[in-house]
Chain A
Amino acid sequence: MITFPILSLLTFLPLVGVLFLLCVRGSEESVARNSRATALLTSVFTFVLSLYMFLNFDKSSADFQFVEEFPWLPGFNIKYKMGIDGISVFFVLLSAFLTPICILASWESITKRVKEYMIAFLLLETMMIGMFCALDMVVFYVFFEAVLIPMFIIIGVWGGARRVYASFKFFLYTLLGSVLMLLAILALYRSFGTTDIIALTEAGIPEYMQKWVFIAFFASFAVKVPMWPVHTWLPDAHVEAPTAGSVILAGVLLKMGGYGFLRLSLPILPEASVYFAPMMFALSAIAVIYTSLVALAQEDMKKLIAYSSVAHMGFVTLGIFTFNQQGVEGAMFQMLSHGVVSAALFLCVGVVYDRLHTRDINRYGGLVKNMPRYAAVFMIFAMASVGLPGTAGFVGEFLVLAGTWQASTLMTFFAATGLVLGAAYTLYLYRRVVFGELTKPDVKAMKDINLREIVIFAPLIVLVFWMGIYPSSVLTPMAPSVARVIAPYQEAKAAAAAMAQPAVVDTGGVTSKEQTEKEKEKETSPADETHDAGHGEQE
């Protein structure tokens, strides 16, 4: 049992590294060297601490664990509250896992203002972990929006040619979404006098209000995910960001939107979520198919992977709004596997970009001849992105499809079409870059990946196979929490089915208060309850 506030420690540990970095002085060369070492050490230490936290995490419980609560804003009922459940624990691990990889990936490619770069990354780590741990909406919001600051700086200072445009677009787009969420949070605070996420889950918000709040949250999370049609900032941001920036953007920042839906929209706004589910389905299906087609036409490697991210995140939103165990678990798994795989793909792009300084697909070709190790690594991640069984990508997509099938056959058809298109653009990319004739002299001169790059890729490869071959190591800890989130939906569905049995249909439905009461009753065995909840008629 952990007796100290481990979540706060995890969150603010990177800040200690920042303080050290601020004190680093000396010649430019030594500052750069020391900054890299300090940042790597801090982030590795944070990762180790997060593993320690995971070992102590009770994987069979649906409750929030390691909960910390301190008074924060006097006069307001707003507390500093942290805690994690089976859903957030994996995102904390993912953030802590990807940050050292990002720092290693920037070891040689970042040569100017190294100290500031490392400070920005450690700040980013603090914001990300804090956001996934927050159990109070205002705390959540503070971290959610604070992420913009380091990311804005990372894109703007170390980015490509159109970095200014991309960074402003990224910042203003996401800010516009988040401020609407702030208003919704304040409206909830006005009505219920609290911003505690757990308390609001049980508050029983009237349906009319739920819809407005859902729209505001949607504005914020949809931009972050990003969902079609508010995804346009993503290709720009990805293309212009430095490699590590793209990695963290695809790996963690996009997950904030999906996590937001799971943590806030679904538990707090059950009726509105059901009401808007068809819209979410439609937008997700469009995202999956449209952005896959767009990806097929890209000439820029990073842009292609960026569009593929939008398509993959379409699966996530699709899975979340099926409200069943398979769908939501699939969405979770898809987020985690996408966090690893797309991060790795951006690193693969970074490897060749570091050597040739172009992302134009046509400038490459035949890399398998002079970079065999690279070709193998790239192959693994490309296959994982396609969703080959045995890799991480397969499990998530399969579960989402299985979950969607229960909700809507049509949507499953669209999503499955997206899978085919996904295979098409990924393999097409791979063929153009790795296969073909090795004719271009500058491509011929490229060296295979070195030890540092192998060290970066090795854990990612292990993870991709681990998650693909033994998915229950991830799915089991999250199952109770997922069951808790979807319990009210299954209850409502079962009740509606039971009501539909008599000849006269009462459209009154179930109010949320009744739902939460029922939820409490059933809390003893939520997992079994929900697995066969599809057969609600048997009551």
Chain B
Amino acid sequence: MKPFEAPELIPAFPEIFLALVTMCLLVFGVTRKKDDSATVAHFSIFALLAVAVVVLRFSAENLTTFNGMFITDAFAVYMKLIVLMGSAVTIFMSSRYAHSQRIARFEYPVLVMFSTLGMMLMISANDLMSLYIAIELQSLPLYVLASLQRDSVRSTEAGLKYFVLGALSSGMLLYGASLVYGYTGVTNYDAIAHVLKDEPEVPLGVLTGMILLLSGLAFKIAAVPFHMWTPDVYEGAPTSVTAFFSIVPKAAGMAMIGRVFMGPFEPMVEDWRQVIVLLSIASMTLGAIGAIAQTNIKRMIAYSSIGHAGYMLMGIAAANQAGIKGIVAYAALYMAASVGTFAVILMMKQKDRMVENIRDLSGLASRQPMVALSMAIMMFSLAGIPPMAGFFGKLFVFQAAIDAGLYMMAMFGVLTSVIAAYYYLRIIKIMYFDAPADEGLDTSTDPRLNFVLTLSTVAVILFIIVPAPLLNVAGAAASALLGG
């Protein structure tokens, strides 16, 4: 009998640390009599940034632990950094909003942190079992967050909808995982790759399992046709939570898909590539067309995020170094623009009441020129117009797709980006061209939102001048994942 060996804990230290801090904050919040949400929020931001620093220590290493169920490499490190930054920024942005919407409870940051922890584990998962656990850890707090506004019908509906569909997707994912296990006999990524490599022909069961697995994963990143929940949940959830939804889980989901399909299923690349190409084209098209008719800005952003998931999937479909590099860069640049966009959406108030209609932005350019300018820059970036950063994200994934010979997909990509440009331009048109409405938006008084907006505007503009840091990081991540 093998003697019990304690697993190496150091590679998972950031996750363990985050888990401990989160639980401490939970206990702290529960034991305090009076409302202490602000303290918890501050602590959580601090903790997330601390974890980010710790994570960065592992950037040059390639370690596995827990019997190969957990892996940390440069790819994991940089995707985790994106996730941690995104989480910290959303908590940072939402403090005043949370107070005004009376959702400022200590559970809010704690839930965000638990979800972040789940995402970090998702990125580092190297086994179907740890993958499933990580996904559940990520999803359950998200369901609760969506319905955080208990008194609002829309919010609770969003949470319930998200939960039911999320459970369905988890079921598909589990079913797929069990099929893969049944036909290969292993759940570890490396072992699966090993088994599949020796197979002369991929068994139908594994193929089915892979498709089901992909369906479950596609749900998490809201790729068409598993996007149904997105517009409703984005619209119904409190805006700060919507910001979190659209920024963070997408990056984590992409990282997870990247690792699963570049790892265990790498030998069957020709089989899954066509599925991902289809998902990508469908997402880009629906994202572009669906957003045109929207009047609610959160709903519009939901469709926009579906489209962006499609663009990121192009990088997966390319299945090469350039593709992974493109995804890492895209995720970071998309986050920069999304954060800024949501900072503006969180500023949208009339007489201290939050408004969400796109029309409410009319005449913003004359009332608050700097906010309007920043928002315009964000929109141009999301539309992928140079010289904004968003263009380069698109450039990299298109380059990867062309490199892999996927001309058709790239063609769809650029054409849908022209369609999508229409609704981003519409926001600019409303802000700049239209006559100001009788009642404009209140001037933003939240210094945090102004700070975040300034920061992301600067990032989006300056990327063209200093692209090297991000590209070097993305290159390191790609070679870590693909071992090249």
Contacts and interface: CB of A to CB of B under 8 A. Distances in A.
A458 interface: no
Contact of A74 (B399, B414, B464, B475): B475
Interface stretch (A169-177, A251-259, A376-384, A414-422): A169-177
A183 B398 contact: yes
A48 interface: no
A138 B422 contact: no
A26 interface: no
Contact of B402 (A152, A153, A157, A183): A183
Question: Size range of the interface on A?
Answer: 35 or more
A113 B366 contact: yes
Nearest to B380: A149
B385 A179 contact: no
A495 B274 CA distance: 47
B471 A157 contact: no
A457 B385 CA distance: 35
B461 to A, nearest CB: 11
B475 A172 contact: no
B472 A74 contact: yes
Given A75-B325, A75-B472, A153-B432, A179 B418 contact: yes
Contacts of B133: none
A182 B429 CA distance: 26
B338 interface: no
A142 interface: yes
B418 A156 contact: no
Contacts of A157: 365, 432-433
Contacts of A156: 428-429, 432-433
Contacts of B402: 183, 186-187, 189-190
A16 B349 CA distance: 35
B28 to A, nearest CB: 45
B417 A179 contact: yes
B289 interface: no
A148 interface: yes
B385 A182 contact: no
A163 B425 CA distance: 14
B446 interface: no
B385 to A, nearest CB: 6
Contact of A72 (B387, B407, B429, B467): B467
Contacts of B417: 179
Interface string A131-169: 000000010011101101100110011000001100110
Contacts of B391: 142, 145
Contact of B398 (A72, A74, A182): A182
A73 interface: yes
A180 interface: yes
B401 to A, nearest CB: 8
B56 interface: no
Contacts of B407: 183, 187
Given A72-B467, A146-B385, A167-B433, A182 B325 contact: no
Interface in A24-75: 72-75
* Dominant secondary structure of chain B at its interface with chain A: helix
Contacts of A75: 325, 471-472, 474-475
Interface string B396-424: 00110011000100110011011001100
Contacts of A143: 386
Interface string A494-505: 000000000000
Contact of B411 (A74, A113, A138, A183): A183
Contact of B418 (A138, A141, A172, A186): A172
Contacts of A179: 414-415, 417-418
Contact of B471 (A74, A163, A164, A176): A74
A116 B432 CA distance: 11
B395 interface: yes
Contacts of A168: 422, 425, 429
Given A167-B433, A190-B403, A148 B385 contact: yes
A152 B383 CA distance: 14
Interface in A169-222: 171-172, 175-176, 179-180, 182-183, 186-187, 189-190
B314 to A, nearest CB: 12
Contacts of B365: 113, 116, 157
A377 to B, nearest CB: 33
A172 B422 contact: yes
B1 interface: no
30 contacts: A74-B468, A74-B475, A75-B471, A75-B474, A113-B365, A113-B366, A116-B365, A138-B395, A142-B386, A142-B391, A142-B464, A146-B386, A156-B428, A156-B432, A164-B429, A164-B433, A168-B422, A168-B425, A175-B421, A179-B415, A180-B414, A182-B398, A183-B411, A183-B414, A186-B399, A186-B410, A187-B407, A189-B399, A189-B402, A190-B402
Interface of A: 72-76, 113, 116, 138, 141-143, 145-146, 148-149, 152-153, 156-157, 163-164, 167-168, 171-172, 175-176, 179-180, 182-183, 186-187, 189-190
